């Protein structure tokens, strides 16, 4: 994990290495709403938002020429009938209005969690007729602090708040100025519910504003920000923390100031108790956060959807296999220790055969991930596939037969693995948290975190020698099914019929595209 130090606080890349792109400037905008500049801040964490080649446009960047508007937000006029704040969702003339908050959002897409937030929002708008507004962030020193710019991509309006480049430590997780700006936005938009995804940089001021407006709040955790100051439970030496549950007293060697860290955790723990529903993409993530002290009023395993293969994918895959019968391995994690690249490099270096291909995805913005890696020294035919989008991912997946996923840390979900399984691509993986909660083949062959390159080489040889090298696709939830599940989960909140605030475990009934558990349970 990339680490930077400025002043008296450490700064970390938004995702584990190899992301080395900064949290950059925003692109063309239409309208800004702003308040006066506020005080002196410390250095902004320049985080990238994700390390996956699925990303569409990358971190916020480019030049803009904003029109600076007045301090008051212009009211958004909606063409659809708006559901009264205390009305019933079943009224056919009503339109639920959801305010979504995520650190990034289209047209500034970066990272797997952002893709999930975007795709679910679009599906809620397109399939369910919901009115969706979004709050996301950018950092520009040449524009007013906490100004809000309105941009739009498709049916979803995105209100981008300009965070100052320097802030105190506490404002990284709870910023009253963000809360104040969010309150004005809520007063203008009058949403029925607030849905928070990744709120690092934004902080819990968004949550406070929603509670002040007496709106139901849903939080979807995509990482470990709520229980780990470093967000991914990765220690300064690049190794996985391994605490289960997390005890803040044991975080002393990883943080700059254990007192600040303890204060942060207690603050987030208190805020979590006011969350109406908290969702996690896996049972692993839910259990770890729950056992570590994050106790919302209700909690659910809400699995992420993926982009499914386009029609004709299987035929395209078959033509490639007929044209070149060599087995093709694929890898998406970049030259990262955490993602297991050193293990892959050593495992292949020791092979005595060359009858295979390896395709490496490049997720960097400038195509630089593999520039310094000597792929010619490795046996077999190695090549690099350029960064791909959601729309073009089949270009990559149709070229590979086996995904290499030797992650050396516990992850919350694993979109890449589900994308592979949905396309009949086998997976060689470690038992890395939520990534293993699927029904794909070869689950009994998972490697352990910490297993050496010789174990990985054995699995590579097994893939090359097995009589059934190709797997059938398995059923995987898509984003539409994920949005449908969200509607089912939040219907009681939309109907203003929230149950008692005892912590609950909410699980979805099985559907055609879902493997989530069933029934409602008391914690």
229: helix, coil or strand? coil
Tens of pLDDT along 278-325? Answer: 999 999 999 999 999 999 999 999 999 999 999 999 999 999 999 999
- The model's confidence at residue 28, banded by pLDDT at 50, 70 and 90, is very low
What integer pLDDT is reported at residue 508 of this predicted model?
A: 52
Residue 96's CB: how many other CB atoms inside 10 A? 22
Q: Over the chain, what is the mean pLDDT?
A: 82
* Residue 502: pLDDT over 70: no
Q: How far is CA 15 from CA 52, 266, 279, in A?
A: 10, 24, 20
- Which band of pLDDT confidence, cut at 50, 70 and 90, is reported for residue 21? very low
Euclidean distance between the first and the last CA atom of the chain, given in angstroms as a whole number: 35
pLDDT at 290: 98
Give the C-alpha separation, 161 to 137, whole Å.
5
Please name which of 10, 116, 24, 100 lies closest in space to residue 61, comparing C-alpha atoms.
24
Q: Where are the alpha helices (DSSP H) in 55-155?
A: 112-128
Residue 143 has pLDDT above 90, yes or no: no
Per-residue model confidence as pLDDT tens digits over 233-281: 999 998 999 999 999 999 999 999 999 999 999 999 999 999 999 999 9
pLDDT over 50 (residue 203): yes
**Phi, psi angle pair for 521, to nearest 5°:** -130, 145
Render pLDDT for 377-410 as a digit per residue (tens, 0 to 9): 999 999 999 999 889 999 999 999 999 999 999 9
**H or E element in which residue 92 lies:** none
Under 8 Å between Cβ of 196 and 206: yes
In the chain, % of residues over pLDDT 70: 77
Q: What is the pLDDT of residues 32-65, one digit of tens each?
A: 333 333 333 333 333 333 344 443 333 333 323 3
Strand partners, 101: 135, 196
CA distance 234 to 238: 6
Which one-letter DSSP state was computed for residue 151?
E
Measured CA to CA, the distance from residue 346 to residue 29 in angstroms comes to 47
- pLDDT score at 522: 38
DSSP string over 461-489: HHHHH-S----------BHHHHHHHHHHH
pLDDT of residue 505: 55
Residue 195: pLDDT over 50: yes
Structure tokens at 498: 């929230």
Residue 263 token pair:
């204060």
pLDDT of 314 reads 97
Query: So what's the pLDDT on residue 4?
Result: 31
Name the helix (H) or strand (E) containing 344.
Answer: helix 341-349
Could you give the CA distance from residue 265 to residue 48 in angstroms, rounded to a whole number? Answer: 23
Query: What SS3 state is found at 223?
Result: coil
pLDDT at 338 over 90: yes
Q: How confident is the model at residue 107 (pLDDT cuts 50, 70, 90)?
A: confident
Q: Is the pLDDT of residue 10 over 70?
A: no
Q: Write down the pLDDT at residue 110.
A: 77
Whether the CB-CB separation of 447 and 456 falls below 8 Å is answered with yes
Structural domain 313-465, CATH architecture: 3-Layer(aba) Sandwich (3.40)
DSSP assignments along 495-522, one per residue:
TT----SS-EEE-PPP-TT-----SEEE
Here the tokens at position 434 are 């939520």
Going by pLDDT thresholds of 50, 70 and 90, the confidence category of residue 462 is: very high
Residues for the chain: how many in total?
523
Per-residue pLDDT at 62: 31
Q: Are 96 and 89 in contact (CB under 8 A)?
A: yes
Q: Do residues 77 and 157 touch, judged by C-beta distance below 8 A?
A: no
Per-residue DSSP letters for 391-408?
TTHHHHHTT-SEEEE--S
pLDDT given for residue 154 in this prediction: 80
Reply yes or no on whether the pLDDT at 227 is more than 90.
yes
- Confidence at 142, pLDDT banded by 50, 70, 90: confident
Residue 94 is predicted with a pLDDT of: 74
Mean pLDDT of 510-518: 43
Q: Is the confidence at residue 173, as pLDDT, over 80?
A: yes
The per-residue pLDDT for 504 is 55
Q: Where are the domains of the chain?
A: 3-87+94-221, 313-465
How far is Cα 99 from Cα 134, in angstroms, rounded to an integer? 6
- 511 has pLDDT over 70: no
User: Of 264, 292, 262, 266, which Cα lies nearest the Cα of 280?
Assistant: 292
Peptide bond into 18 cis (omega under 30): yes
Give me the pLDDT at residue 506, please.
54
Cis peptide before 245 (omega within 30 of 0): yes
**High-pLDDT (> 90) share of the chain, %:** 71
Contact indicator for 298, 277 with CB cutoff of 8 Å: yes
Residue 79 has pLDDT above 50, yes or no: no
Measuring CA to CA, which residue among 232, 131, 114 is closest to residue 479? 114
The alpha carbons of the chain give a radius of gyration, in whole angstroms, of: 23
pLDDT of residue 23: 31
């Amino acid at each position: 994990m990339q680490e930077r130090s400025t002043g008296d606080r450490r700064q970390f890349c938004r995702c584990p290495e190899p992301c080395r792109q900064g949290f950059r400037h925003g692109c063309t905008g239409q309208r800004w709403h702003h308040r006066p500049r506020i005080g002196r801040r410390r250095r902004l964490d320049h985080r990238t938002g994700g390390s996956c080649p699925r990303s569409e446009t990358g971190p916020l960047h480019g030049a803009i020429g904003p029109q600076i508007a007045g301090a008051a937000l212009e009211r958004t006029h909606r063409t659809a009938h708006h559901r009264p704040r205390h009305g019933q969702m079943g009224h056919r003339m009503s339109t639920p209005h959801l305010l979504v908050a995520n650190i990034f959002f289209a047209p500034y897409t970066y990272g797997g969690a952002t893709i999930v937030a975007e795709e679910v929002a679009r599906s809620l708008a397109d399939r369910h007729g919901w009115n969706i507004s979004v709050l996301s962030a950018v950092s520009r020193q040449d524009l007013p602090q906490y100004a809000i710019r309105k941009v739009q991509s498709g049916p979803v309006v995105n209100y981008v708040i300009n965070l100052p480049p320097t802030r105190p430590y506490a404002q990284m997780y709870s910023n009253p100025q963000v809360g104040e700006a969010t309150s004005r936005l809520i007063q203008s938009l009058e949403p029925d519910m607030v849905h928070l995804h990744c709120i690092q940089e934004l902080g819990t001021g968004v949550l406070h504003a929603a509670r002040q407006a007496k709106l139901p709040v849903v939080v979807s955790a995509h990482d470990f920000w709520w229980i780990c100051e470093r967000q991914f439970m990765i220690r300064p030496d690049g190794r996985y923390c391994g605490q289960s549950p997390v005890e803040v007293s044991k975080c002393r060697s990883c943080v700059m100031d254990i007192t600040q860290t303890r204060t942060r955790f207690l603050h987030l723990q208190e805020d979590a108790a006011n969350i109406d529903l908290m969702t996690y993409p896996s049972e692993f993530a839910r259990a770890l956060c729950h056992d570590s002290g994050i106790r919302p009023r209700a909690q659910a395993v809400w699995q992420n959807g993926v982009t499914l293969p386009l029609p004709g994918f299987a035929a395209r895959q078959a033509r490639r296999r007929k044209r070149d019968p060599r087995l093709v391995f694929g890898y998406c994690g970049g030259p990262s220790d955490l993602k297991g690249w050193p293990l892959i490099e050593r495992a292949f270096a020791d092979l005595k055969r060359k009858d295979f291909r390896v395709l490496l995805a490049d997720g960097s913005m400038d195509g630089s991930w593999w520039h310094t890696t000597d792929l010619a020294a490795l046996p077999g035919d190695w090549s690099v596939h350029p960064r791909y989008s959601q729309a073009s991912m089949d270009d990559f997946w149709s070229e590979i037969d086996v995904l290499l996923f030797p992650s050396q840390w516990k992850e919350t979900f694993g979109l890449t693995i589900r994308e592979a399984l949905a396309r009949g691509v086998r997976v060689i993986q470690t038992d890395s948290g939520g990534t293993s909660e699927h029904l794909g083949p070869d689950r009994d062959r998972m490697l352990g975190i910490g297993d050496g390159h010789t174990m990985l080489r054995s699995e590579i040889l097994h893939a090359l020698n097995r009589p059934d090298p190709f797997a059938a696709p398995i059923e995987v939830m898509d984003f539409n099914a994920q949005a449908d599940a969200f509607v089912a989960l939040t219907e009681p909140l939309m109907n203003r019929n929230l149950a008692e605030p005892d912590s609950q475990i909410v699980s979805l009934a099985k559907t055609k595209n879902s493997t989530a558990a069933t029934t409602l349970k008391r914690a």
